[in-house]
Amino acid sequence: MNLRRWLTVGIGVKRWLLLAFVGLVILALGIAHLLRQLTASLSADDPPGQLVNLLTFQFLPYQARGLLLGGAGVVLFLFGSYRLVRALVDPFALWDRDQPMVEVIYQKRFLARGPKIVAIGGGTGLSTLLRGLKEHTSNLTAVVTVADDGGSSGVLRAELGIPAVGDIRNCVVALADSEPLMARLLQYRFPGTGPATASAAEPDKPSAADAAGMPVDGPFAAAEAGLGGHAVGNLLLAALVQLENGDFEQGVREMNRVLAVRGSVVPATSTVLTMHARLQDGSEVEGQSRIAHTAGIERVWVTPGDVQPTDDALRAIADADAIVLGPGSLYTSLLPALLVPGIREAVAASGALVIFACNVATQDGETSGYDLADHLDALAVHGVAHLPDLVLANNRFDGAGRDGSSGEAVRLRWPPRERTAARLVLDDLVDRANARRHDPERLAASIMRAWDREGGRRRRPAAARVERSA
């Protein structure tokens, strides 16, 4: 099976094998010509002549002799080439024996030809999207919101003065090649009831030790004082930021490099953000963890208002072939990233195909009772409804929720034409095991089909998008 994989279209091996084979054939012809000249004077009755006839299979018919020697040459050439490649690449595969090196090479070469896709947002929705898209292209960039102020991220933010790291950690896990092992390590939460667990953002999330049935006494008890509730991935990223003298953007770059993710994860900004929301009754709520559980939101914004987007985010958006907005919490994951000054302007000017991936279910609190039109209205209130070219929504509603939430499926009410110029694309996107979540493979496949239907990258002047927003 490995030999067949080495000969798969797109891996870039067959052409060089063919060239080497042609070279060997020419070399063999040259040697045969030389031997013929050297043995021309030998008599078939003499011992030297008889030995030459025996070694060259002169006792067989001419056609059988050619087939036998040619077949043996091909077999020896392929086997020798295969063993040579294995001898060269196996030392570099020691880090991942579960994935043959031929698979790694195939992924790198094949996926490197995929479109450049930028996904903007945060939370579980963004990591779900990335987990599916990484099987179609390695040219992936996740532009992640950093406004979280709860759980482990909130504690590190308060103690170290760094932006939220939790969503970045989740995206790194989603893009990791060795995802199951990497997820177990980076998502592991130290047991205990330290300050990191006392947050409304993650009130019922058990630690990895609790889930695995590990005791929280003995060697684990020491973690309760300062590490309780902290995820290993959060601590790793915080340490990398400190090693880079507080440069958050560079710390995230180093985490991408150290963990060798497929694609890259970049923060929307390197500045600590605070979320604010104005409710329909005129009151205001501060803090992402509180807003996430609040209904009746009218508008959200972030402070400080003059923050700068990261260079990596702007560069990725400018080079993108396609940009996906969402899925994820509408007010606390997607909009905080788009509200960073410069991000939405970069999206509008990119000329990329922009797809808004609407959530498949409402979220308790911030989007309770929302349908598709309500999601688009929320984008319009915040001045970003003109960005999407396509709106991707789920059209399968027979699944059952398994996450314990009371969220409902997002119904397909489409706003009047004058309120949006985007085109609606309906597809079966729901996870069969949990109707409150997207299925990573279905979502990614639907986005790639939409990309194919559009015929590749579309370039439009930024003015065209501005006119649509007016």
Check whether residue 183 and residue 54 sit in a common domain.
Answer: no
Report how far residue 171's alpha carbon sits from residue 140's, in angstroms, rounded to the nearest whole number. 11
SS3 label, residue 449: helix
Q: Is the Cα dihedral 17, 20, 25, 31 positive or negative?
A: negative
Do the domain assignments include residue 384? yes
DSSP 264: E
- Among 48, 66, 100, the domain-final residue is 100
Report how far residue 297's alpha carbon sits from residue 332's, in angstroms, rounded to the nearest whole number. 11
Report how far residue 148's alpha carbon sits from residue 160's, in angstroms, rounded to the nearest whole number. 14
Do the domain assignments include residue 195? no
Check whether residue 382 and residue 449 sit in a common domain.
Answer: yes
Check whether residue 168 and residue 62 sit in a common domain.
Answer: no
Report how far residue 132's alpha carbon sits from residue 444's, in angstroms, rounded to the nearest whole number. 5
Q: Which pLDDT value is given to residue 459? A: 47
CATH classification of the domain holding 399: 3.40.50.10680
Q: Which pLDDT value is given to residue 106? A: 67
Q: Which pLDDT value is given to residue 448? A: 95
Report how far residue 240's alpha carbon sits from residue 248's, in angstroms, rounded to the nearest whole number. 8
Check whether residue 453 and residue 327 sit in a common domain.
Answer: yes
Check whether residue 285 and residue 373 sit in a common domain.
Answer: yes
- Among 68, 100, 132, the domain-final residue is 100
Check whether residue 328 and residue 352 sit in a common domain.
Answer: yes
SS3 label, residue 120: strand
- Among 70, 100, 130, the domain-final residue is 100
CA angle 125, 165, 241 (to 5 degrees): 145
Do the domain assignments include residue 222? no
**What is the pLDDT tens value at each position of the chain, 470 positions in all?**
455 656 666 666 677 777 887 888 888 888 877 877 766 666 667 777 777 777 777 777 878 877 887 788 888 877 887 777 777 666 655 445 555 666 666 667 778 889 999 999 998 999 999 999 998 999 999 999 999 998 888 888 888 999 999 999 999 999 987 657 777 888 888 886 554 444 433 433 444 444 434 344 444 444 444 777 888 999 999 999 999 999 999 999 999 988 878 899 999 999 999 999 999 999 999 999 999 999 999 999 999 999 999 999 999 999 999 999 989 999 999 999 999 999 999 999 998 999 999 999 999 899 999 999 999 999 999 999 999 999 999 999 886 665 566 689 999 999 877 778 899 999 999 998 888 899 999 999 999 999 999 876 554 544 344 444 44
| H/E stretch holding 353 | strand 353-357
Tokens of 258: 């150290």
Check whether residue 60 and residue 137 sit in a common domain.
Answer: no
**β pairing state of 264-267 and 353-357:** unpaired
Q: Which pLDDT value is given to residue 446? A: 97
Task: Give which of 361, 372, 332, 378 is closest to 429, Cα–Cα.
Answer: 361
Do the domain assignments include residue 209? no
Report how far residue 89's alpha carbon sits from residue 410's, in angstroms, rounded to the nearest whole number. 49
| H/E stretch holding 236 | helix 232-243
Domain that holds residue 34: 2-100
- Residue 378, CB-side half-sphere exposure with 13 Å CA sphere: 29
DSSP 403: S
Check whether residue 249 and residue 384 sit in a common domain.
Answer: yes
Q: Which residues in 62-130 belong to E strands, given as ranges?
A: 117-121
Number of domains forming the structure of the chain = 2
Which residues sit opposite 269 in a β-bridge?
Answer: 309
